[in-house]
Amino acid sequence: MMRTIGLLALLLAGAAQAQEVPPGVMTESRQLPGLTAPGEIVIDRAGIPHIYAANARDGFFLQGYAVARDRLWQIDLWRKRGLGRLSASFGPQFVAQDRASRLLLYRGDMAAEWAAYPAQARVWTEAFAAGINAFVADVDAGRQKLPMEFTATASRPERWSADEVVSIRSNALASNAASEVLRARALCGGDVRFEPLRRQLEPARPVVIPKGLDPCSIPENMLADYLLGTSDVRFDGSRAVVASRTDPDTLEGSNNWAIAPARSATGRPILANDPHRAHAVPNLRYLSHIDTPELKIAGSGEPSLPGVSFGHNEDAAWALTIFAIDQQDLVVNPAGTTLASVADSIEVKGEAPRSVVLKFTADGPIIHEDPASGRSFALRATWSKPGASAYFNATWAFTAKNWDEFLIARNHWGAPPLNLLFASRAGDIGWAPGGFVPVRTAGDGLLPVPAGKAHGWKGLLDARLMPVVYNPAQGWFATANENNVPAGYPHLLGLEWNDRSRITRISEVIAAAGVSGPKFSLTDAMALQNDATSAMARRAVAMLQGLRGRDAAQSAALALLEDWDGHEGPDSAPAALYEVWASRHLPPAAVKAIVPEAMRRNFGRTSIGNVLPVLEDGALLGADPRAVQEGILLDSLGSAFAETTRLLGPDPATWRWGALHVADFTPALAIAGRDAERRVGPLPIGGSGSTPMAMGSSGGSSGNFHVQSGASVRLVMDVGAWDNSMAINTPGQSGDPASPHYRDLFPRWATGQYVPFVWSRSRVLQEAERIITVTP
């Protein structure tokens, strides 16, 4: 009887809503078996779905349907990669990657896994998967079109299940296995004295080689399977390379900040977030809004997961950036170690299934076996624990109304490790980092360790012992992946953090607001997310003060940078020279001058964030540190000027950073005759990996400075007055090149513009482009 009354009420409400449809808004109706009651998907002018449903279960069902409508190829590929099912759709060239992915799946008890999340989470996820499956059924029946990528690969989308969603662990952004390998390789024939030049540690400490570890026993290719299992799908036959998450070429980070009412121009908290990841078409994030009687949330998340990873409910908002807890150890097993074997079968398109063997120890999956020595290498990682599905513990935040309830979400957070910021309608703000923290019996996680109890884990740190800051006296809190662990905190969390360039700039802008001018506003938040000033560049240029060039190139370079303020706009000539210098010339010049030749073979690459502290400190520069410093700076600057001349011409007055630094995105899968319509860009763009407007490039190791990583989505929330919130998501919400929302947000994103991210029904209808009415 109650269900009948509820259905009748929603039908009547639907009739009333139909009369609200603004002129010019497109409408359509669909019947979706699996719904329990009628609902509605309102697509706004930016392609953001606003979902109205009779209950939370139906809300997640319709979210799954909406996501599949926009991103079916992307999420299907995510699932197949994570589960190790690429070969079934694309052929035998993916067997090795499938085997690697299966090594990294969660293999624990599913009852324990679901028990780690809110009681409703399984129902929500089952509904989300059912919604995706409903769209796949529509595709199979010809009611919706099959995305062109499936036709190009002669493949079909597969059906989803809830258990699969949480079992995939390889997207958890955990660290630091790759860093351990790079460090061990550097110390094979190297010297720990030079480690600060290769990778700064915070707080600073000497690198100590674990007893029983020979760094030269770590094979150069030992992460091949790990990289396969965690890498994106590559259709061009290329292979991923060994790089740590903090390697300058693969640097990914994020910014967020919370402003208290007393410092805010609105009189309410402001919460801003722009997570940085590798750019793609479509990108990793998806904006959505779910409105049901018992649950209302809006924000951004990975399209393959239910709900949102960051955003807000009716009462509170949360934001995230990576917090560098070391959640991995590589374990070296001696020859003769007993390995548990699991026989598996990989379905292969056009062939018989391939039999593979997966091997494990109590520490974790065996990711490499060295036939020459008989050693094997296991990956010990927190993601093997129940409750470590990436971003899935955001489900605890969906219903958090206040700080205490938010801390419950933090206390459950497993992966990836995050700076979690909070702001509520009540005016409270706070910082509460979350993530599983291994408690090591010995050591600091910087290098692989020999197998055995001496280097084992005692368990996980009680999350209630993690640091927190609640309503800070300064009236704001910001994070940018820097070391922000309070001095004197007694537990080891991690030692490898991003440099302070972004947080330095963010802090100085926020701290200045309200001191001699207006308080910090929503407009200020958007401007700061697009700020292209590099504190790192200012720091490097400061070291050039007082130097005199030894030749014409050095003198011209010094003159160009002399009065530069570090602003890396697309039209900046100094920025062009600086980035060529900072990425391609200064780091290798420092290594050549400081590290003995015999020790450079395995030293690897470094970055300016590691070089500058070494040059400033001088301890590694020998008997005459000033002379060595001057030689490194001038010689590298002169060669950078010469290269920039080759790249941009002989007249520095015509140089532009945007001529080198462009956003030009292409899908991973090439389709003959269709690539032009699928390409997004190019557009010149400012910023760099060291500016708040993070625009990381691979200029240090590739032939161009094209943007590789940064903030694909930016969100600024007016806490409590949610209709004022603003967002952007590049290149667009849809992965279908025929959709108007495939690349519509790209020019806005590139120029620092936003679209409304509204909340109330009345404002949603004002922004509406299409209304999809759905019935069971």
Enter the tokens of residue 203.
């707080």
Q: Which residues contact 542 (CB under 8 A, 6 or more apart)?
A: none
CA distance 58 to 130: 10
Question: Longest C-alpha distance within the chain, in Å?
Answer: 89
CA distance 570 to 572: 6
- Which value, in Å, is the radius of gyration of the alpha carbons in the chain? 26
- CA 55, distance to chain mean position in Å, is 31
Residues 89/80, Cβ–Cβ less than 8 Å: yes
DSSP 8-state secondary structure symbol assigned to residue 351: S
User: pTM of the entire structure?
Assistant: 0.96
Find where tokens 């506003």 sit: 521
Q: Which residues contact 526 (CB under 8 A, 6 or more apart)?
A: 714, 716, 726, 752, 754
Q: Which of 177, 154, 159, 7 is CA-nearest to residue 83?
A: 159
The β-bridge partners of 366 are 378
Q: Which of 712, 755, 757 is CA-nearest to residue 297?
A: 757
Distances in Å between the Cα of 437 and the Cα atoms of 106, 289, 385, 422 are 18, 32, 11, 21
Residues 771/27, Cβ–Cβ less than 8 Å: yes
Residues 37/7, Cβ–Cβ less than 8 Å: yes
User: Beta strand 26-31 with 340-346: parallel, antiparallel or unpaired?
Assistant: unpaired
Find where tokens 């991923």 sit: 240
pLDDT in the model for residue 9: 44
Residues 501/536, Cβ–Cβ less than 8 Å: yes
CA distance 73 to 303: 11
Q: Which amino acid belongs to residue 742?
A: Y
DSSP 8-state secondary structure symbol assigned to residue 703: S
Neighbours of 111 (CB within 10 A): 8
Cα pseudo-dihedral 629, 635, 641, 645, rounded to 10: -160
Q: Note if the bond before 756 is cis, omega within 30 degrees.
A: no
Q: Which residues contact 552 (CB under 8 A, 6 or more apart)?
A: none
CA distance 432 to 407: 7
DSSP for 497-524 reads ---SHHHHHHHHHHHHTTTSSPPB-HHH
pLDDT in the model for residue 242: 47
The count of residues in the chain is 776
Give the H/E segment covering residue 7: helix 2-20
- CA 512, distance to chain mean position in Å, is 29
Count CA within 13 A, CB hemisphere, residue 60. Answer: 23
CA distance 465 to 434: 10
Enter the tokens of residue 344.
């598996």
Q: Which residues contact 386 (CB under 8 A, 6 or more apart)?
A: 106, 108, 109, 112, 113, 115, 116
CA distance 395 to 399: 8
Measured distance between the N- and C-terminal CA atoms of the chain, rounded to whole angstroms: 18
CA distance 615 to 633: 9
pLDDT in the model for residue 46: 98
CA distance 301 to 449: 35
pLDDT in the model for residue 494: 97
Q: Is 560 helix (H, G, I), strand (E, B) or coil?
A: helix
CA distance 733 to 726: 15
Q: What residue spans of 448-597 are helical by DSSP H?
A: 501-512, 522-529, 535-542, 552-561, 573-580, 586-594
3-class DSSP string for 607-644? CHHHHHHHHHHCCCCCCCHHHHHHHHHHHHHHHHHHHH
pLDDT in the model for residue 250: 44
CA distance 776 to 539: 61
Low-confidence ranges of the chain (pLDDT < 70): 1-19, 173, 238-252, 700-702
Q: Is 349 helix (H, G, I), strand (E, B) or coil?
A: coil
- CA 448, distance to chain mean position in Å, is 25
Residues 312/717, Cβ–Cβ less than 8 Å: yes
Residues 10/54, Cβ–Cβ less than 8 Å: yes
Residues 683/662, Cβ–Cβ less than 8 Å: yes
Q: Note if the bond before 438 is cis, omega within 30 degrees.
A: no
Residues 182/242, Cβ–Cβ less than 8 Å: yes
Distances in Å between the Cα of 630 and the Cα atoms of 517, 536, 549, 617, 626 are 41, 18, 10, 13, 6
Q: What residue spans of 84-176 are helical by DSSP H?
A: 86-90, 95-103, 110-115, 121-140, 148-153, 162-167
CA distance 393 to 414: 7
The β-bridge partners of 275 are 254
